Structure 1
Amino acid sequence: MIRKVLLAAGTTAWLATSSLVPAHAAERKETYRLMELFAEVFEKVRSDYVEPVKDEDLVEAALNGMLSSLDPHSSYLNAKNARDMEVSTKGEFGGLGIEVTMESGWVKVVSPIDDTPAYRAGLQPGDFITHLDGEPVQGLTLSEAVDRMRGLVNTDIKLTVRRASVEPFDVKLTRAVIKIQTVRSHAEGNIGYVRITQFSQTTDADLRKHVGQLKKDIGKGLSGFVIDLRNNPGGLLDQAIAVSDDFLDKGEIVSTRSRRAEDTQRFNAKQGDIVDGLPLVLLVNDGSASASEIVAGALQDHRRALVLGTRSFGKGSVQTLIPLPGHGSMRLTTARYYTPSGRSIQAVGIEPDIKVLQSKVEPINVPERERRSEANLRNALQNPAKNGKEAPDAKPAEGAAKPAPQPEPEKEKEKGGAPAVIKMGDPAQDYQLARALDLIRGLSLYRPQGN
């Protein structure tokens, strides 16, 4: 029984004689006194609680309470949850496709994952999930809430969502097998667009394939790349380091500093830039967290990329998954990470070089008779080439950029329904991307020919 294990681990120490107590005797005695308190409460609950409670459930709750009280990212994972986490880092798992944390007792959305039920339903970073199938989430641990959101594929769950300046609304989601394609790309004229949705085991290899394909497809006219890390909740540290290294020739990428100075680690770039020094614009927002911020901080500090968008999430800590043989594992915050210039972005985030708020981009359709034009002025000179006839449509110069549509503020939803989703990656709707593409075009004008 777990109770016996606890007593075996603790009672022997509590009953130790003073001759066995090491130098920090007073400190140790206080620790033993507190452990006795825990054992006393544990026994009282087992014997006097209104209903029988399993020892295992009590111990798991105690461990989760201890770890989750440290910070939002430390937790105890039983054997099932530990397996789920291992599967998710490999790029395929079941559920809703949403990265969450806990804040003030509510489940808070860090970011939805592209092309998942949560993404298609319009959930956004910063949303609070207050109820699951009509039952409040307050009182649940993060692990318990996540367990309830997971379930059999093709089963439904109703989430009640609270969003700033919007009335609470319900969203029904159908659970699915979440297969994460962490890298997507396409050409925007002579600019490569690459979106990284999270950092799993295959992200760096996939990024290299996509960049290679874009270089081949666009050819010699390639002007630069937009790397989109918006709503990327992070993932594996080694993949964030590898992705940063892809665009850097030298220098520090990130350092991790833990409680003991001797445990500090520094990770440096190796020579070789997979885009050969072409201009880079990096897109971030408040859903860009952890590993995303490592990449953004490294490329920003080395002035290798311009960071555009809004301030990132601000998760500057490192979690280590520590196996507990026979009992799952614990996820423990063991270090903070620092950008090459020595910045800790914990609870601060990466401030973009160019701040651009997201807007819904729509063309403004003005009737022809209302358009302002020289031709509409009284007594305007005629174009001699027209000779009284309509001139053929003029063709734009080769490589000329199309005029960017003007943004309009995103309209709030009507009460009772979820707001419309801006399709990221489509410059006709995505104002931040449209601005990033314009920036690459501007930078390419000043780039020496042949480089």
Structure 2
Amino acid sequence: MKTSHLRTIGIVCAASAALAGLALASEVAAGPSRADLALLAGVMQLVQQDYVHPVDSRQLTDAALKGMLSRLDPHSSYMTEAEFRESREDISGKFGGVGLKVTDHNGSPTVLSPIDDTPGARAGLQPGDEIVSVDGQTTRGVDLMEVIRKIRGQPGTTVTLTIQRGRQSPFEVPLTRQIIRVHSVKSRLEPNDVGYLRISEFGEETPNELHQAISTLQHEAGGKLAGLVLDLRNDPGGLLASAVDVSSDFLNGGTVVSIRGRNANDDQLFTAPATSALLPDTPMVVLVNGASASASEIVAGALQDRHRATVMGTQSFGKGSVQTIIPIKDHGALRLTSALYYTPSGRSIQGDGITPDVLVEAAKDEQVANSLVWREAQLHGAFANPGVLPKSDASPAAKSASAEATSPPIKEQLIGSDRDTQLKAALKYLERLPAGNPAIIHTSVPG
């Protein structure tokens, strides 16, 4: 029996609204033994008979599936029907909540990044903030999706989060919920006709929003941009298809990313159309940092390997795995890590991340104070980097040891502002490029 799958590479759970609930395939190679199934059934029966309170069998089944999937790696999980429905709202770019991207860090729900212009961002919540309780109820040991459900609610109502920030004493942050409409692309024209584009996440509408933003920038620049900064800092990822589409907007043909799974039948190669580049001769800089993950790393890695852009900033997060959403009839869905992805030169980003061509750290007063500087390789159960593929159609960018340094990410509210040191460095870099060179790689920050 066939199942319908959706590839997603974001850290936050995501699924397509178009997926219909389908039964899982029963033809599974080396399936569970009868003894294993009997053990599970026997334990469930004992719990239902002898536990101090009555427990519904559906509740036990959901808990067993959650435990099973969560032990595999940091990104595999089981979603109940309600969680699956909520995850589809995430991808549609409209949901009720406070505007926080949250991930599980060693058993604690942790802010990956606040979404621009939302209650969470306006309250000053920062990457690395640990959510220790929601409305006075601890989050320790609670499933991540359950924590997210508690944070969400009816627009206009209030939720109080208790935050642990580094070594500071925990503090409470009351937030008023609202309808969150995520516009993932922001743009503006900088001096000297240089375009600035920021992608905050990769959702279904991101490619369309990007096209509109580029068209507006070109019009404001009198028809031609002198340079472009693509800002992927603090972008936690999203949909693989959106990452491929965005990369293709800057490439004429060739490989964007490849996927390698357990079986050769799962391998896929994603390429850009031969004439898809919107700005073929415009010099580009891509900005990344330690909070740039998955889809952001695909785009940065593709443009770096294809020598289309200079990557600046600090080492990225290093999430190089692909999750497939598998709906289960009359239940929820599995979010199962099914493959690893590779840049055009055959590099796996898993655990390593993207090393910038030009190392530029945010100024000390711009960095998130007491931020936890953690990366994919530090997550419990994360896969090791498998190495480079033997064949590829692009040469990897030179790797500078000094460029592998990590530092706390920039404060969300300062991204793109007049105080943004990394953006200033990117603009200065573009000013020094000779005309007609879309990307020139250096290994030191321009003075």
| Fold agreement, TM-score > 0.5 | yes
Residue 206 (structure 1) aligned to one of 206, 209, 214: 209
The unaligned stretches of length 5 or more in structure 1 are: 1-8, 14-21, 361-407, 414-418
Name 1:365's counterpart in structure 2.
Answer: none
Name which of 236, 240, 243 aligns with 1:237: 240
Give 1:348's match in structure 2, choosing from 352, 360, 367: 352
Q: 1:200-234 CA distances to partner (integer Å, 9 max, x unpaired)?
A: 11111111111011011112663101111111111
Q: d(CA) in 2 for partners of 1:97 and 1:412? A: 20
User: Counterpart in 2 of 1:288?
Assistant: 292
Partner of 2:266: 263
Q: Does 1:254 align with 2:260?
A: no
- One-letter code of the match for 1:429? R
Q: Helix, strand or coil for the counterpart of 1:219?
A: coil
Change (3 A) 1:156 1:290: same
In 2, the alpha carbon distance for the partners of 1:245 and 1:294 equals: 11
User: Partner of 1:88 in structure 2?
Assistant: 90
1:103 deviates by 2.1
Distance in 1 between the 2:336 and 2:56 partners?
A: 25
Instruction: Indicate how the Cα distance of structure 1 residues 195 and 412 shifts in structure 2: closer, same or farther if over 3 A, else same.
Output: closer
One-letter amino acid matched to 1:84: E
Separation (CA, whole Å) in 1 of partners of 2:320 and 2:336: 14
Q: How many angstroms apart in 1 are the aligned matches of 2:261 and 2:368?
A: 45
- AA partner of residue 111 (structure 1): S
Q: CA deviation at 1:272?
A: 3.1
8 Å CA contact 2:119–2:175 kept in 1: the answer is yes
| Structure-1-length-normalised TM-score | 0.77
Q: For the residues of structure 2 that align with 1:411 and 1:349, how far apart are their CA atoms? A: 20
- Distance verdict in 2 for CA 1:311–1:420, change over 3 Å: closer
What secondary structure, in the 3-state scheme, does the structure 2 residue paired with 1:161 have? Answer: strand
C-alpha spacing 1:359/1:173, structure 2 compared with 1 (3 Å) = farther
| Alignment partner of 1:39 is 2:27 | no
Q: What secondary structure, in the 3-state scheme, does the structure 2 residue paired with 1:131 have?
A: strand
Q: Is the 8 A contact 2:285 2:312 kept in 1?
A: yes
Which amino acid is 2:339 matched to?
A: A
Larger Rg: 1
Deviations 1:118-152 (Å, cap 9, x if unpaired)? 22222222222222223221121111111111111
Identify the residue that residue 439 of structure 1 maps to in structure 2.
429
Aligned counterpart, 2:341: 337
Please say which of residues 299-308 and 106-115 is displaced more in the overlay.
106-115
Distance 1:71 1:194 in 2: 33
Q: Distance in 2 between matches of 1:437 and 1:196?
A: 17
Distance in 1, Cα, partners of 2:161 & 2:241 = 34
Normalising by the residue count of structure 2, what TM-score does the alignment of the two structures yield? 0.78
Q: What is the RMSD of the two structures over their aligned residues, measured on CA atoms?
A: 2.4
Classify 1:193/1:107 alpha carbon distance in 2 versus 1 (closer, same or farther; 3 Å): same
3-state SS of the aligned residue for 2:222?
helix
Distance 1:302 1:203 in 2: 22
Superposed CA offset, 1:362-407 (max 9, x none): xxxxxxxxxxxxxxxxxxxxxxxxxxxxxxxxxxxxxxxxxxxxxx
Deviation at 1:329, TM superposition (A): 1.4
What does 1:301-380 correspond to in 2, within 5 Å? 301-359=305-363
Q: Distance in 2 between matches of 1:425 and 1:158?
A: 29
Change (3 A) 1:124 1:293: same
The equivalent position to 2:228 in structure 1, one of 225, 228, 239, is 225
Aligned to 1:101: 103
Q: Structure 1's 168 and 351: CA in aligned 2 closer, same or farther, altered over 3 A?
A: farther
Task: Give the Cα separation in 2 of the matches to 1:208 and 1:448.
Answer: 23
Q: Report Cα offsets for 1:321-376 as digits up to 9, x if no partner.
A: 1111111211111111111111111122112111222227xxxxxxxxxxxxxxxx
Distance in 2 separating the partners of 1:63 and 1:56? 11
Question: Residue 148 of structure 2: which of 142, 146, 155 is its match?
Answer: 146
Cα deviation per residue 1:291-327 (whole Å; 9 max; x = unaligned)? 1111011011111111111211211111111111111
Q: Tell whether 2:415 aligns with 1:424.
A: yes
User: SS of the residue aligned with 2:259?
Assistant: strand
Q: Which has the higher helix share?
A: 1
C-alpha contact (below 8 Å) 2:127/2:368 kept by paired residues: no
Deviations 1:24-70 (A, max 9, x none): 9xx77x82212211111111110111111121111111111111111
- Distance in 1 (alpha carbons) for counterparts of 2:38 and 2:344: 46
CA distance in 1, matches of 2:250, 2:186: 17
Aligned residues: 371
Counterpart position of 1:62: 64
Q: Which runs of 5+ in 2 are unaligned?
A: 1-22, 371-409, 438-447
Q: Does 1:191 align with 2:184?
A: no
Secondary structure of the corresponding residue to residue 196 of structure 2? strand
User: Is this contact kept in 2: 1:78–1:329, CA < 8 A?
Assistant: yes
Range that drifts further, 124-133 or 312-321: 124-133
Q: Counterpart of 1:282 in 2: which secondary structure?
A: strand
Tell me how far 1:411 sits from its aligned partner: 8.8
Render the CA deviation track for 1:393-446: whole Å, top value 9, x for unaligned: xxxxxxxxxxxxxxx565959xxxxx98642112x1211111111111111xx1
Aligned-partner Cα distance in 2 for 1:265–1:225? 30
Which letter maps to 1:145? V
Closer, same or farther: CA 143–224 of 1 in aligned 2, 3 Å: same
Q: CA deviation at 1:77?
A: 1.3
